[in-house]
Amino acid sequence: MNTTFLNKIYEAHQYPKVLPGTVEIERFITNLLDFLFPELSENRFRTPLEVETNFHLLRLDFEKLLYKTEACNNKNVNSVCHNFFTALEEVYELCLEDSEAILEGDPAAVDRKEVVRTYPGFYAIAIYRIAHLMLKLEIPHLPRILTEFAHSKTGIDIHPGAKIGRKFCIDHGTGIVIGETCDIGNQVKIYQGVTLGALSVTKEMAQTKRHPTIEDNVVIYAGATILGGKTVIGANSIIGGSVWITESLEPFSTIYYAAKGNQILKKGIIEKTTRTHESK
């Protein structure tokens, strides 16, 4: 046995980042989602006292997570925890709006309960909104751990730093990537395989806006790739499937790969129309 290798492993174990265990973190987010959305839970609260009791238990569990996160030691854990649960109602209302947007946006959806219980898009958005709140409260590590947990469960990768407006609809969702500095407006709908990413940048540009801005009422179809921090997709635009975009589009634009005869136009030959008198 290579003792030098084993010594390296031993040394690595002496200086880990002190964080709660994976099981603890996943248990907390699962219990929190069950609390907020009974469609996900096997249990129902029968009295207001049960609701209040479980709320306080969740708060205690969250405090434990914060105390076990070494980087939180210089923070007032009680204050951070209080601010998180105070803001939770707003997150809950945003999630309900998201569920309604998905219901309205997918003809196959039966009702809101089905959306909450079965749709990976709703699940990923809900965890993103919780993680985004944690990031705004400057809670380290946990936001990214949570969104990567959602990523592993759904195939949808939303960085907790992204800014996403109201009534966000993800249809299907597998393979979606939304970068850290994305800014997404209200009533945006995204299909599977969409990438809202960065152009190639250096590490020194980590604190700059590297990902696109998507304005209100935009629909982005499957497989589209939109890149760059200076790229703005104007409101009420429609982005067709599999297009590649690295420059801004005016509001009410429609962009797609067009078929002419039996030939599908290839990459770089994109037919663009601008709609000035109609909405999406």
- Assess whether pLDDT exceeds 50 at residue 208: yes
Pair 66, 191 in one domain: no
Q: Does any domain span residue 45?
A: yes
Pair 21, 143 in one domain: yes
The CA dihedral of 165, 25, 27, 32, to the nearest 10 degrees, is: -30
Q: Which domain holds residue 242?
A: 162-280
Pair 58, 146 in one domain: yes
Q: Which of 116, 134, 156 is the last residue of a domain?
A: 156
Name the pLDDT band for 260 (thresholds 50, 70, 90).
Answer: low
User: How high does pLDDT run on average in the chain?
Assistant: 89
For position 121, what pLDDT does the model report? Answer: 97
Pair 121, 246 in one domain: no
- Please provide residue 227's backbone torsions phi and psi, each rounded to the nearest 5 degrees: -125, 150
Answer for the pair 116, 99: CB distance below 8 angstroms, yes or no. Answer: yes
Return the percentage of the chain with pLDDT > 90, whole number. Answer: 75
Alpha helices by DSSP H, the chain: 3-14, 22-36, 48-67, 77-105, 112-118, 120-136, 142-154
According to DSSP, the residues that pair with 189 across neighbouring strands are 169, 219
Q: Does any domain span residue 136?
A: yes
Lowest mean pLDDT among 96-100, 239-243, 264-268: 264-268
Pair 149, 173 in one domain: no
Higher pLDDT, 268 or 17: 17
- Assess whether pLDDT exceeds 80 at residue 17: no
Pair 217, 255 in one domain: yes
Global pTM?
0.88
* Count of domains observed in the chain: 2
For position 264, what pLDDT does the model report? Answer: 41
- Assess whether pLDDT exceeds 80 at residue 273: no
- Assess whether pLDDT exceeds 70 at residue 211: yes
Pair 151, 177 in one domain: no
Structure tokens at 44: 């129902």
Q: Does any domain span residue 7?
A: no
Pair 152, 167 in one domain: no
197: CATH: 2.160.10.10
Q: Does any domain span residue 1?
A: no
The DSSP letter of residue 238 is: E
Name the pLDDT band for 228 (thresholds 50, 70, 90).
Answer: very high
Pair 28, 86 in one domain: yes
89: CATH: 1.10.3130.10
The DSSP letter of residue 244 is: E
Per-residue pLDDT of 147-191, as tens digits, reads 999 999 999 999 999 999 999 999 999 999 999 999 999 999 999
- Assess whether pLDDT exceeds 50 at residue 280: no
Pair 98, 147 in one domain: yes
Pair 167, 133 in one domain: no
For position 70, what pLDDT does the model report? Answer: 72
Q: Which of 134, 156, 178 is the last residue of a domain?
A: 156
Q: Which of 137, 156, 175 is the last residue of a domain?
A: 156
The Cα 7–Cα 220 span in angstroms is 51
Structure tokens at 124: 């990923």
The Cα 275–Cα 42 span in angstroms is 49
Pair 204, 124 in one domain: no
